[in-house]
């Protein structure tokens, strides 16, 4: 399969990485104001979206289960998350956000959207739609 020329691929790679680092750096600052790391904020987001098992969190975060255990302990200590035993399999636990965790997660989501929205505001409306369409095309799974 022929693709774009190598120098263009290299430039796009650098630009994509730079955008990702910029967004994550800005998000890190915003999340720190709530006393959260990027990983802690991501755990709250994933639990909110229905990832309720520590083993699934480890898969999503691409970290070791022991790292997830430490993240969960810190979030539980902060009163943001609760772990409860699975009634059918006592070896497993289920996760849920506390009301405080729900509120913090909602603020983190709003902060992330603001950070990303600020970058998108540099584009005109047509460019934003084109950017969306291009990202959709590039992130389609299993479709070429």
Compute CA 138 distance to the chain's CA centroid, rounded to the nearest angstrom. Answer: 18
* Cβ-proximal residues to 27 (8 Å cutoff; 6+ apart), any chain: 38, 41, 111, 112, 115
Taking CA atoms, 22 is separated from 16, 25, 28, in Å, by 10, 5, 10
Domain locations in the chain as residue ranges? 25-139
CA torsion 123-128-133-134 (nearest 10°) is 20
- 1: pLDDT strictly greater than 70: no
Residue pLDDT, tens place only, 94-110: 899 999 999 999 999 99
Q: What is the share, in percent, of the chain residues with pLDDT greater than 70?
A: 97
8 Å CB contact between 98 and 79: yes
Which 3 state secondary structure label does DSSP give 20? helix
At the topology level of CATH, where does 25-139 sit?
Arc Repressor Mutant, subunit A (1.10.10)
* Band of pLDDT at residue 39, cut at 50, 70 and 90: very high
User: Which residue shows structure tokens 């590039």?
Assistant: 138
- 144: pLDDT strictly greater than 60: no
Query: Which pTM value belongs to this model?
Result: 0.82
Residue pLDDT, tens place only, 64-94: 989 999 999 999 999 999 999 878 887 788 8
Q: Give the model's pLDDT for residue 142.
A: 56
């Amino acid at each position: 399969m022929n693709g774009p020329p190598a120098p263009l691929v290299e430039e796009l790679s650098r630009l994509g990485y730079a955008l990702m680092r910029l967004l994550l750096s800005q998000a890190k600052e915003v999340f720190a104001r709530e006393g959260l790391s990027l990983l802690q904020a991501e755990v709250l987001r994933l639990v909110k979206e229905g990832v309720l098992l520590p083993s699934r969190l480890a898969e999503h975060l691409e970290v070791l289960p022991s790292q997830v255990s430490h993240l969960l302990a810190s979030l539980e200590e902060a009163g943001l998350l609760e772990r409860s035993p699975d009634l059918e399999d006592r070896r497993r636990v289920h996760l849920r956000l506390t009301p405080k965790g729900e509120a913090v997660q909602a603020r983190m989501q709003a902060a992330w959207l603001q950070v990303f929205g600020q970058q998108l505001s540099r584009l005109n409306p047509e460019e934003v739609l084109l950017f969306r369409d291009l990202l959709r095309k590039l992130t389609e799974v299993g479709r070429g």
